[in-house]
Chains A and B, each alone.
Chain A
Amino acid sequence: MRILAIIPAYNEARNITAVIEDLKSFRGDILVVNDGSTDDTAAVAKSLGAHVVSHPFNLGIGGTVQTGLRYAYEHGYDMAIQFDGDGQHRGDQVFKILELVQKGEADLVIGSRTLPGGYKMGITRFIGSRIFHCLIRCLAGKAIHDPTSGFRCYGKKTIRLFSRFYTDDYPEVESIITAARNGLRVVEVPVLMRGRLSGHSSITRRKSAYYMLKVTLAMVVDAMRGRDLVGES
Chain B
Amino acid sequence: MDLTKIASLGLSVGIFCFVVWLVRERRLREKYALLWLCTSVFVILLTVSRRILEVAALSIGIYYPPSLLFLVGVLFLLLVAVGHSVTLSRLSESNHNLAQEVALLRKQVEDLREQQKVQKQ
Contacts and interface: CB of A to CB of B under 8 A. Distances in A.
B38 interface: no
Contacts, number: 34
Interface of A: 33, 51-57, 59, 63, 66-67, 70-71, 74, 168
Contacts of B67: none
Contacts of B99: 55-57, 59, 63
Interface string B88-105: 000000001001101110
Interface SS of chain B: helix, strand, loop or mixed?
helix
A220 B96 CA distance: 23
Interface string B76-114: 000000000000000000001001101110110000000
Nearest to A69: B100
A208 B101 CA distance: 31
A56 B104 contact: no
A52 B96 contact: no
A67 B100 contact: yes
Nearest to A66: B100
A59 to B, nearest CB: 6
B107 A56 contact: no
A118 to B, nearest CB: 33
Contacts of B107: 51-54, 71
A63 B106 CA distance: 17
Contacts of B100: 55, 59, 63, 66-67, 70
B96 A56 contact: no
B92 to A, nearest CB: 8
A51 B108 CA distance: 11
A104 B43 CA distance: 66
